[in-house]
Structure formats: C-alpha cells, structure tokens
Structure 1
Amino acid sequence: MTEEEATWHEAHKATLSRGERAADVMRNSMGSWRFVAGFIVFMLLWAAMNSWVLSSRGWDPYPYILLNLFLSMLAGLQGAILLIAAKRQDAIAAAMAQHDYDTDLQAKAEIERLTIINNEQLEILRELRVLAGQSARG
C-alpha cells in the first residue's frame, strides 16, 4: 500500500514508538475477558498449590502474603499502563478531531464553490428563458 492509499489511522500507527505500541497491546489484553479468566485461574491454582497440594511446604502459605505483593505490584503497573493508553487515546481523539475539522473546512469551501457555480447556471437559465420568450414574440 502506498502512502497515498494509507488511511489516516494506518499512517498514525506507523509513527508510534515501540513503547506506545506495547502500551496499546497490554491495554487491549488486560481489558479482555480472557485476561480476567486467566487471572482467576492463576489465583485459584496459586491457592490450591499453597493450601492443599503442597500443604505445609507451600512457598506462600495462607494468607498468601507473596500473592498479595504480586497483586499489588500488578495493580500499580496496570494503573500506569492504563494511564499511558488513555493519554494516547486522548492524543488520537484530538488528532482525529483536527482531521475532521480540516475535512469540514475543505467540504465547506467545495460547497461554496458549487453553490456559486449553481447560481451562475441559474442566472444563465433565466437569461435563456428571457431570450427564448423574446424570440417567440418577435
């Protein structure tokens, strides 16, 4: 696809840094039911391994202090990642709004040009009707 054929969104995605693309991927994966289900399964496995399977030899016995630490770290990282993604979404929305505004201005100019042409054509038709009326009388 050439640059002229690329959509605005594709052109914008090509300018993203590696970190911005990573934030988008993480936001999309963390905001999915697959992530929620996987996270629930992980916590259930953690509890099962440390409570019943490994009984007293578990690496994190009840009340799961290590799991609590990991969940706290995950929450902190998720907050930062979601803020990065939200900031990017705001930038995208602002750029798209500017693009829409520019498109509207171009459309307005084109409509005004077409209105002028239409008015000129109407004036020519009026003049032709007047000439046709004069030649029919004469």
Structure 2
Amino acid sequence: MTSDGTSRPLTNWHTSHAERLTGGQRAADRLRNGMGSWAFIAAFVVLMLAWAVVNLTAVAWDPYPYILLNLFLSMLAGLQGAILLIAAKRQDAIAAALAQHDYETNLAAKKGIEELMAINRLQLELLRELRHPADDAR
C-alpha cells in the first residue's frame, strides 16, 4: 500500500514482454531453441549418416566427397550464424529491459521504505511523548 491507501499493481515482466513480441522475434526464439537442442543434433547426425549411406550404396546423386552436401552444410552454417546473432541481439534487449524493470522496482521499493521509515520516526516521537509527557511540559 502507498501512503494514499492505494496498492501498487503486481506485474509479471516476462508475461507482458512475451505478449509484445513480433512474429519475427518469436520465430527467432523458436529457431534458436530448436537448433540449440539435443533433438536437433540427433536429427542432424542421422540425416548426415543417411546421406552418406544412400550415396555410397544406392543412387549416388552426390558421390564422395559430397560436394552438394558441403554446399548445404555451408548454407546451414551461414543461416545458423545469422539466427544466433538475432537471438543474441534479442537477449541483449531482454537484459536491458530487465535491468530497467529492476531499476524501476528498486525506486518503488526505496520510496516505500522511505515512507515506512517516516511513519516509524513519527511513531517513535509519539511514543517518547507518551512516556514522558512531563518532560515536554518543562
């Protein structure tokens, strides 16, 4: 409660931030989370092994040394680099917004503590007056 009797609204920064994300920001987060998972690594290894096995045994559309596969991997690496940069940029923005939110929370807490300290000082003065009313009269 504030000094005027109203209470400050409680907000969850993460929820309100997630609601303001654009479609591109959500896609970047999903891609980053997907490419940084063990499921992606496992699927990637399986795909590479399947590519090699099929090219060695069946239809050799990309014979060893797998020039086409190297091209695809290079393109994937380029895209992953860009996606990781986008994700890092978003993380920096989130960290900056969280720091600002923490600062605002600290200012509100400081104001509340100062109000409580003022009330506490007033109460101590009143208690002193109640204990020693004759001292004040002299």
Length-normalised TM-score, structure 1: 0.87
Aligned to 1:17: 22
Aligned to 1:94: 96
Structure 1 letter corresponding to 2:109: A
Larger deviation: 13-22 or 78-87?
13-22
Q: Which one scores higher on RCO, CA 8 angstroms, separation ≥ 6? A: 2
Compute the displacement of 1:5 (Å): 7.2
Structure 1 letter corresponding to 2:47: F
Structure 1 letter corresponding to 2:91: Q
Q: Deviations over 1:47-81 (max 9, x none)?
A: 000012x1xx4110110111100000000000000
Aligned to 1:29: 34
Larger deviation: 6-15 or 37-46?
6-15
Aligned to 1:65: 67
User: Which residues of structure 2 form unaligned runs of 5+?
Assistant: 1-8
Structure 2 letter corresponding to 1:74: L
Q: Which has the higher helix share?
A: 1
- The structure-2 alpha-carbon separation of the partners of 1:92 and 1:107, relative to structure 1 and needing over 3 Å to count, comes to same
Compute the displacement of 1:113 (Å): 0.7
Aligned to 1:105: 107
Instruction: Percent identity, please.
Output: 66
- Partner Cα distance (2:12, 2:125) in 1: 41
How many residues of Structure 1 are paired with residues of Structure 2 in the alignment? Answer: 126
2:56 paired with 1:51: yes
RMSD: 1.3
- Partner Cα distance (1:118, 1:5) in 2: 25
Superposed structure 1 runs of 4+ greater than 3 Å apart = none
Structure 2 letter corresponding to 1:36: I
Compute the displacement of 1:7 (Å): 2.2
2:45 paired with 1:40: yes
